[in-house]
Amino acid sequence: MRIAGIAAAALLAGAAGFAVYVRVAGDDPARWHVDPLAGPFPSSPNFVLASPEPVAGVPEDRWLASPSFPVAGTDLLEALDEIAMGQGRVERLAGGAGEGRITYVQRSALMAFPDYITVAAVATGEGQSAPVVLSRSRYGYGDLGVNRKRVEDWLGLLRARLGEGSAAD
- Residues 132 and 102: their CA atoms lie apart, in Å, by 11
Alpha-helical runs (H) found in 29-102:
29-32, 73-85
Region 2-18 average pLDDT: 65
Q: Which tens digit of pLDDT belongs to each residue from 95-139?
A: 999 999 999 999 988 888 999 999 999 999 999 999 999 999 998
Q: What is the pLDDT of residue 46?
A: 95
- Residues 32 and 55: their CA atoms lie apart, in Å, by 19
The percentage of the chain sitting over the pLDDT mark of 70, rounded to a whole number, equals 85
Q: Is the dihedral of CA 89, 95, 99, 102 positive or negative?
A: negative
Q: How far is CA 51 from CA 2, 24, 61, 118, 130, in A?
A: 56, 32, 13, 12, 7
Report the DSSP pairing between strands 47-51 and 63-65. parallel
Q: What is the pLDDT of residue 25?
A: 59
Q: What is the pLDDT of residue 17?
A: 53
Q: What is the pLDDT of residue 124?
A: 95
Structural domain boundaries in the chain: 29-162
Q: Quick one: fold of 29-162?
A: TATA-Binding Protein (3.30.310)
Q: Which tens digit of pLDDT belongs to each residue from 63-105?
A: 999 999 999 999 999 999 999 999 999 999 999 999 999 999 9
Residue 153: φ, ψ to 5°: -65, -45
More confident residue, 28 or 153: 153
Q: What is the pLDDT of residue 39?
A: 86
Q: What is the pLDDT of residue 169?
A: 41
